[in-house]
Chains A and B, each alone.
Chain A
Amino acid sequence: MKEKDLLFKQIFDTNSKKIFHLCYGYTGDEDSANDLLQETFLKVWQNLDKFRNKSLISTWIYRIAVNTCLTYLRSEKRQAKDELTDNIIETRPEEFSEKNEQVALLYKSISQLEENDRLIITMVLDELPYHEIAEISGISEGNLRVKIHRIKLKLTELYNQHARI
């Protein structure tokens, strides 16, 4: 097997779960997240030769995933975010539990943030270092800290609103 193939498989095994979680947080839907994951790694494969080790490979992959998510276009076939998040709750009655309900509410709250904020907060939730998030999203670290603080407040507020209903 070629060296590039082995490298790609290693990269996929190491990063796919976190990238999938990022896409899931962005779309709130497993199928769409799966499509975005595959699109991201397709681009990773296409551009692997261009990676020049100027940053961590995980940072580079995150940046591709963020760009892929941001350019993700909603076609007529794709449903509105709220409907999708409702489907997560409705279509899995066997998995119903208080925790699952809280998770569904969390995804619903994330889906109500602005697109860019959604991606930033999922990286924060996955405990990516701030300097890495700044590099991925192209924002200065100072501005990012302010922005993250604002998103955290907004997300907590949205989550509490839904939890009260």
Chain B
Amino acid sequence: MQEFDHIQSLWQSHSVEVKISSDEMLAQAKKEVKSISNRSILNIAGMATSFIAVGSLCLFIDFQSWTTYAGIMIVLLAIAALTIILAQGHRLISRNDFTTHPNEFLVSLKQYQLSRFSLYNKMYWIYAVALTLGVGLYLIEVVTYMALWAQILIVLFSFLWMIFCSTLVRKAVIKKDRERIALLIEKFERLGSQFKTQS
């Protein structure tokens, strides 16, 4: 019968080797922190640029129909809403403190993940409907200035793109999110029961 002391001496005799040096770790930490922050800022900058680009259509082109302006406004609102959500996400990343009490940390993480999941689910529809409506209204006037073949091509392309987004892409996104959240819930419930037995 092996005793715990034997197990402990076995553990301590097993020397582990850290394969990364402090210099490499420092370089990597700096690079990663920069890349996480950069990616998040680039996303926001990309959305802001789209906002300016779409908005500038109103400034530089004199559209004749109200539908075009309505379409542009709807697209601008959708972009602005998503930009605000991305900015909030960026703020959360930069504020995140991993040193809190484990129980509170896990609870807050679970709440955060669940709220994000629900937000993205709702936002997907709002964003898809807004873009479809916006682009649809915008095209009513714009396509009239084009040749017939271009009109057909644009309408057909827009129609197929929207079907693609609302079927295949949507299904894939929801499936991925559902799996992710199910895994998280299962894990947190398991961990939660472990913590309950301790307190």
Interface positions of A (Cβ within 8 A of B): 5, 8-9, 12-13, 16-17, 20-21, 24-25, 33-34, 37-38, 41-43, 45-47, 50-51, 60, 63-64, 66-68, 70-71, 73-74, 99, 102-103, 106, 114-117, 122, 125-126, 137-140, 143-144, 147, 152, 155-156, 159-160, 163
Given contacts A115-B194, A143-B199, contact A43 B98 (CB under 8 A): yes
A-B contact pairs, 24 of them (CB 8 A): A5-B26, A9-B22, A16-B20, A16-B22, A17-B16, A24-B16, A25-B11, A38-B20, A41-B25, A43-B98, A45-B26, A64-B98, A64-B99, A73-B184, A99-B10, A102-B10, A106-B14, A126-B11, A138-B102, A138-B103, A139-B198, A156-B4, A159-B7, A160-B1
Residue of B nearest to A144 (CB): B198
10 nearest interchain CB pairs?
A45-B29, A9-B22, A125-B11, A12-B22, A116-B194, A138-B102, A103-B14, A139-B198, A138-B101, A16-B18
Closest CB of chain A to B183's CB: distance in Å?
6
**In this complex, what residue of A is CB-closest to B29?**
A45
Say yes or no: is B109 at the interface (Cβ < 8 Å to chain A). Answer: yes
CB distance from A48 to the nearest CB of B (A): 10
Q: Are A45 and B199 in contact (CB under 8 A)?
A: no
**Which of B12, B18, B26, B99: most chain A CB closer than 10 A?**
B99
**What separation, in Å, do the CA atoms of A46 and B34 have in the docked complex?**
10
Contacting residues, chain A, for B98 (C-beta < 8 A): 43, 47, 64, 67-68
Q: Which of B107-137 contact A (CB under 8 A)?
A: 109
Q: Which residue of B lies closest to A54 (CB)?
A: B99
| A114→B10 CA distance, assembly (Å) | 21
**B contact residues around A125 at 8 Å (CB):** 7-8, 11-12
Counted as pairs of residues, one from A and one from B, with CB atoms less than 8 Å apart, the total is 122
Question: How many residues of B sit at the interface, in one of the four size bands?
Answer: 35 or more
Cβ of A160 to closest chain B Cβ, rounded Å: 6
B10 contact set on A, CB distance < 8 A? 99, 102-103, 106
Q: Determine the distance from Cα of A25 to Cα of B106 in the docked complex, in whole angstroms.
A: 21
Cβ–Cβ < 8 Å partners of B191 in chain A: 70, 115-116
A73 x B187 contact (CB < 8 A):
yes
For chain B, residues 36 to 63, give those with C-beta under 8 angstroms from any C-beta of chain A.
none
Known contacts A67-B105, A156-B7, A143 near B29 by CB under 8 Å? no
Closest residue on chain B to residue A66 by CB atoms: B102
| A37 cross-chain contacts in B, Cβ below 8 A | 18, 20
Q: Are B8 and A60 in contact (CB under 8 A)?
A: no
Contacts of A42 on B, CB cut-off 8 Å?
28-29, 32-33
